Structure formats: C-alpha cells, structure tokens
Amino acid sequence: MKPFTYERVATPAEAAAAALKNPKARFIAGGTNLLDLMKLEIEVPPHLIDINRLGLDKIKETDQGGLRIGALVRNTDLAADRRVRKDYAVLSRALLSGASGQLRNKATTAGNLLQRTRCPYFYDPTMPCNKRAPGSGCSALQGFNRNLAILGTSDQCIATHPSDMAVAMRLLDATVETVHADGRTRAIPIASFHRLPGTTPHIETDLAPGELITAVVLPPPLGGTHIYRKVRDRASYAFALVSVAAVLQRDGTGRAAFGGLAHKPWRVEAAEARMAQGPKAVADAVLAGARTTPQNAFKTVLAERTLAAVFEQARA
C-alpha cells in the first residue's frame, strides 16, 4: 500500500471542500471496497477524508411518505429497519443477498452505490484496462468474460456493476442527494446516477469533483409483491451472474430491474408495459440490443429464466 495522509472532517460541506482541494483524495467510511483496492495499488489516493462522524447514519421518514436514508447507514441496519422490511422489502432482500454479515456491518449506503467493478482485469495491474488506466485497452473483450456485461457495453469496456442494493434502488426510483464544497445541494435520479462506459469507462457516476453523497431518498412505497432473485455460482458471498429485483401487482402490472447484465443497474421502463404478457415478452424487450460473447451469451437465457422464476414466485 502506498503512503497517504489522512484527515477527519466534521460537516458534509467541509468534506466536499477537502476533496475539492485534493482532487485525488478519496472519502472513506466503511472502506470495504476502497481498502482492498489500495492494498492492490489499483487505487492509490494520496489523501483520505474520513466521513464517519458527519451524522449521516439515520433513516428518517419524508414529508412525501418515503424514506431518507443517510449516506452512512450501514447495510445491516438498512436491511433490518422495520419500515424498509415492511414497505421496501425488495431493498432489504437485495442487501441481505450481498457480501457477508461482517461486510454488511461495515458497508455504507453511499459506498455500496459507489462500488467499483469486480472485473478480473480491473483487479490485475499487469493487464490493460481502460477503467483503471484510460486508453490502455480492454483485456476482457478477448479474454475471460463469462461474468461480464451484455447490455450497454462499448468497445472500451464490458464491466458490470457489482451492487445488489443499487438494483433495488433503481427499481424503487430512488434519488441520490449530494452536497458541493460551496454548500450547494443536488438531487440526482438513480436512473442517471451511474454512467454507461462509452469512451470514458473510468468515469462511473454523475458526481462532480468533490461532490459528496449525503443521502438516498426513497419515494412512497409501491405495494405489491417484492422479490429479489440472485443467480450466482455459489450460494453465498458471490456476485450475481444475473439478478432481478421486481415489484408485481395483482392486476398484472409491475416493475423489474436487473443486475449482472450491465455497467449499471438495468431497467427498461418501456418493457414493463408488457408485464401482463408474461416474462418472455418483458425479457425480449429488456435484452434487445444485447452484445454477447461466446462465454457470456448464456446470460440472455438466464435472465429470461430468472425473470420467469420471479413471476412464478409471485404467483405462489
């Protein structure tokens, strides 16, 4: 691990100002992803800004009937919250399907959204990776890519986003609240928070330099049957090959968002108009334009079958 300096800040605006002053600095809270990357010297921040004492660890009800989840709420606490379990069960189930209990005790809401890809070439400094070293190339295109993306890819990157929580947040139409160094705040719809790779795969979110996430806001509950189904190579502590977060209503309408398929949580609202026609009709619309490789082409079939299992589970 490379040497670095460290500071502890007292307010969100102070944290954003410290990051703006040190452009290569990183915020640290739980550190479950960042510290691993620093040990491998994939991330080499010269300065760390500790944000654990900012008081952003509360879950509060909003005037609109939703929930405001502080950026520093731990995954375990969020999954166990009575209001989340009752009204946003898909979020609780997504959180509990991720990582291990020990990691969920440390990982934060904002940190979960900002997880970096688990593409093996991103984690191997000896291999070209446009996400890690822009302009160096993408080893995954011709390499081992069984677990990688089939939707929203580019010739520069086919990495996937690893978060389970983010898939549920996308389904629920969450909003990410942030603060800038000058105190300005912003509300970013989750749909536009994560970016597709395009020609700049190293730019992963819509956050500006120094901008700090302060909360994630959920709209009023959707009702219906909430399901999170995750297909992976082993039963625990593994990232999704395909995951589906869904809310299905008695009248046949509903929503569905997918993980393991793209550089960001994937939801196609137009496909949801086909819910009454069944899972194949929805999957056909969601997977339109998929770019597969011989190794990951199975994901198109797996996504359809996983969605069909979700429908069957809802009927049961």
| Per-residue pLDDT of the chain in tens (316 residues, 90 and over written 9) | 899 999 999 999 999 999 999 989 999 999 999 999 999 999 999 999 999 999 999 999 999 999 999 999 999 999 999 999 999 999 999 999 999 999 999 999 999 999 999 999 999 999 999 999 999 999 999 999 999 999 999 999 999 999 999 999 999 999 999 999 999 999 999 999 999 999 999 999 999 999 999 999 999 999 999 999 999 999 888 999 999 999 999 999 999 999 999 999 999 999 999 999 999 999 999 999 999 999 999 999 999 999 999 999 999 8
Q: Residue 121: its pLDDT value, please?
A: 98
* Model-wide pTM > 0.85: yes
Q: Residue 1: its pLDDT value, please?
A: 85
The alpha carbons of the chain give a radius of gyration, in whole angstroms, of 19
User: What DSSP line would sit under 122-182, residue for residue?
Assistant: TT-TTS-BTTTSTTS-BGGGTS--TTS--BS-BTTB------SHHHHHHHTT-EEEEE-TT
Q: Residue 9: its pLDDT value, please?
A: 96
Distance CA 309, CA 316 (A): 10
